[in-house]
Structure 1
Amino acid sequence: MKQAGTLFLLLTLLFSSCKESKSKKYLPSSVGAINSMVVVIDSELWKGSVGDTIRRHFAAPVVGMPMDEPLFTIDQVAPKFFTGSIRNTRSILYVMEDSLNLAHVKTDMYASPQRVGVIKGTSKDEIIENVRAKADDIITAFKDMEIEAAQKRFERSLSKETVLQDKFGISLNIPSIYKVGKQEDNFVWIDREIQRGTANITVYEMPADSFSNDSTLVKDIVAMRDSIGALYIPGPDVPNKITHMRTEPAFAPYVYPAEIGGLKGVEVRGLWDIKNFPMAGPFLTYILNDKENNRKLVLEGFVFAPATEKRNDLFELEAILKTFKIEGVKN
């Protein structure tokens, strides 16, 4: 009886194991350049009003850039050519005229990580309506996945610098190619070389009661950035001129609610320039309300790369800043 019971248990485990292995779907790793996507759609639809609507949403200019750069670089593929390795693309939008009227996002259909936005309609007008209704959700799904994919790439070689922990009690997952360029009592500047310029991260803190008036929020943010620039981010030497980083005075920055690492705050996007010198570029700032440590934390990324596209460099900085964590009380 004991042997029979043991045999029954082994057979049960074997059956369960086989059933589990069959239910698992083993997928190849997804591919694709950063912030790129494939739109699977009939060529006639792509050339007409449906394609125009898709491009209006998914190739809209990135907010706060010095020159127009699209949210996504788009490749269009007709459904009959959507085969083989192209199915492993990380971000896919599948659009077709069909007997169904639907719009949703699927996860890891052909590869991992992968998001597939599916939009169908019984007519062109229905497809357009579904694109308009679902585009923001699909864009968010694509961007969140891109952020996570970038953060996983960082983990291959992370900086071992402890300056952020030592000064502010925080951590960021920063690739080892970035180096600390400047540190003061309340300011750290970390950067790396990119094509024709630099990608930069700055971290500092402000009093807890900063930005208490919503009606002057944008003005107060600009004043903060300009004062920090004057203190810590000088421009090139120009005879008889004061040069430093500031917020581009001709363009008000965009401000959105944000939450990172469990702290709520705002996300700010806009343009910086150098006072009295022709240098400029995009910036992304997070101002976080750290009540436990009685302060506002400011994390900023900015790019300097004249006459080149900056979307992907700023996106990398966004991915880094979104790894923010409170590690402990600062020294």
Structure 2
Amino acid sequence: MKKLGTLYITIFTLVMLSCKDSGPKQRFLPPSTGGINSLMVVMDTELWKGGVGDKIREHFAAPVLGLPQAEPQFTITQIPPQVFKGATAYSRSVLFVEQDSLSLAHIKTDVYAQPQKVAVVKGETYNDLVGNIDAIADKAIESFKEVEIAEAQVRFTRSLSKEKVFEEEFGISLKVPSLYKVGKHEKNFVWMDIQIPKGTMNIIAYQMPLNSFTNDSTFVGDIVKMRDSIGKRYVPGPYEDTFMMTEKAFSPYVFSAEISGKKAAKVRGIWEINGYPMAGPFLTYIINDKENNRKLVLEGFTFAPSAEKRDYMFELDAILRTVEFNKGS
């Protein structure tokens, strides 16, 4: 009888476990695919060739600000809906446009793969579709950029530099790929770079007093003066008396931003070498670090003549966004 009682208990336990497991199961999603800054546009080919396609290109293939040559925000691949299945649906960033009696525009997360953002636009008429594209474009671009930044970070964090120069000098951690090397480390200045085909990608960091840039009316001009003074002191050109400065012909673009939970200014523009024909794009974060009574400046810049620079600058942006402020720094 004792054995029979044990058998009943075992059966009861298995039944209870079976009931517990019969609840909703997490759906398996394959990893998303695609090159960085690639966008899959799923829509009827005739729509793509017409005004609706023009509206998509106006937003999603608009030139990236702050590059010497025009390069689109996304590399777009268009396919008709009937082809969007299987591995094609695993694209990381997707824009789905369809003529439908419904009129809507929204963004979905991890529909066919993970991580993934799918912007869905529907409308019955041309005006419906164009209006919905206009309405969702900024939010969709922001969502696509975030998932692309995250993917870029996943890729380069597989092999990180063990250098501690940023921590030692500024009390911050920065996830920098292992191929970057320290080029210069002085008081209040760190420079790391990596060789790329026909050029370099560079990261520099320094700090300024917290009360810098107090006049909004001179903000852009003061940023230029700051960059030029740092360039003259720390970033020499190929010959004596040459140094990096901000391109004189164009004012940089300035945006509000948040990085590592702190308010910041994000600056995009073109650098040049004073007195020598060299130039390229830069991206600067000026971070309000009130806890440490300073403005921390992180900058990435690229020298790659005759090469497209969008993805180089995108990687630098992804690196700078990994900054974390050490407690007690």
TM-score of the alignment, normalized to the shorter chain, above 0.5: yes
Distance apart, 1:79 and its partner CA: 1.2
Residue 120 of structure 1 corresponds to 122
Contact 1:103–1:117 under 8 Å retained in 2: yes
Name the aligned partner's letter for residue 12 of structure 1.
Answer: M
Residue 15 of structure 1 corresponds to 19
Name the aligned partner's letter for residue 261 of structure 1.
Answer: S
Distance apart, 1:13 and its partner CA: 2.5
- Deviation readout 1:251-299 (Å, 9 max, x if unpaired): 0011111111111110000110000101111100000011111111000
Residue 158 of structure 1 corresponds to 160
SS in 2 for 1:217: helix
Q: 1:103, 1:4 → 2: CA distance?
A: 56
Aligned runs of 1:235-246 on 2, under 5 Å? 235-237=237-239, 242-246=241-245
Residue 139 of structure 1 corresponds to 141
Residue 206 of structure 2 corresponds to 204
Contact 1:168–1:329 under 8 Å retained in 2: no
Name the aligned partner's letter for residue 132 of structure 1.
Answer: D
Q: Percent of aligned pairs with the same residue?
A: 57
Distance apart, 1:4 and its partner CA: 5.4
Scaled by the length of structure 2, the TM-score of the pair is 0.96
Deviates more, 1:83-92 or 1:133-142: 83-92
Aligned runs of 1:206-221 on 2, under 5 Å? 206-221=208-223
**Runs of 4+ more than 4 Å apart:** 1-7
Q: 1:17, 1:281 → 2: CA distance?
A: 58
Name the aligned partner's letter for residue 311 of structure 1.
Answer: R
- Deviation readout 1:116-143 (Å, 9 max, x if unpaired): 1110001111000000000011111100
Deviates more, 1:291-300 or 1:23-32: 23-32
Distance apart, 1:10 and its partner CA: 3.8
Aligned runs of 1:77-96 on 2, under 5 Å? 77-96=79-98
SS in 2 for 1:25: coil
Matching of residue 59 in structure 1 with residue 61 in structure 2: yes
Aligned runs of 1:281-292 on 2, under 5 Å? 281-292=280-291
Residue 253 of structure 1 corresponds to 252
Residue 321 of structure 1 corresponds to 320
1:97 aligned to which of 96, 99, 103: 99
Q: 1:65, 1:37 → 2: CA distance?
A: 20
- Deviation readout 1:5-48 (Å, 9 max, x if unpaired): 6654442232222424xx31111111101101111111110111
Residue 234 of structure 1 corresponds to 236
Q: 1:306, 1:84 → 2: CA distance?
A: 39
Contact 2:36–2:151 under 8 Å retained in 1: no
SS in 1 for 2:94: strand
Q: 2:231, 2:163 → 1: CA distance?
A: 24
Residue 192 of structure 1 corresponds to 194
SS in 1 for 2:16: helix
Distance apart, 1:3 and its partner CA: 7.1
Distance apart, 1:84 and its partner CA: 2.1
SS in 1 for 2:256: strand
Scaled by the length of structure 1, the TM-score of the pair is 0.95
SS in 1 for 2:72: coil
Q: 2:323, 2:35 → 1: CA distance?
A: 25
SS in 1 for 2:267: strand
Q: 1:304, 1:134 → 2: CA distance?
A: 35
CA RMSD of aligned residues (A): 1.4
Deviates more, 1:48-57 or 1:194-203: 194-203
- Unaligned runs of at least 5 residues, structure 1: none
Distance apart, 1:81 and its partner CA: 1.6
SS in 2 for 1:314: helix
Q: 2:7, 2:154 → 1: CA distance?
A: 49
Name the aligned partner's letter for residue 251 of structure 1.
Answer: F
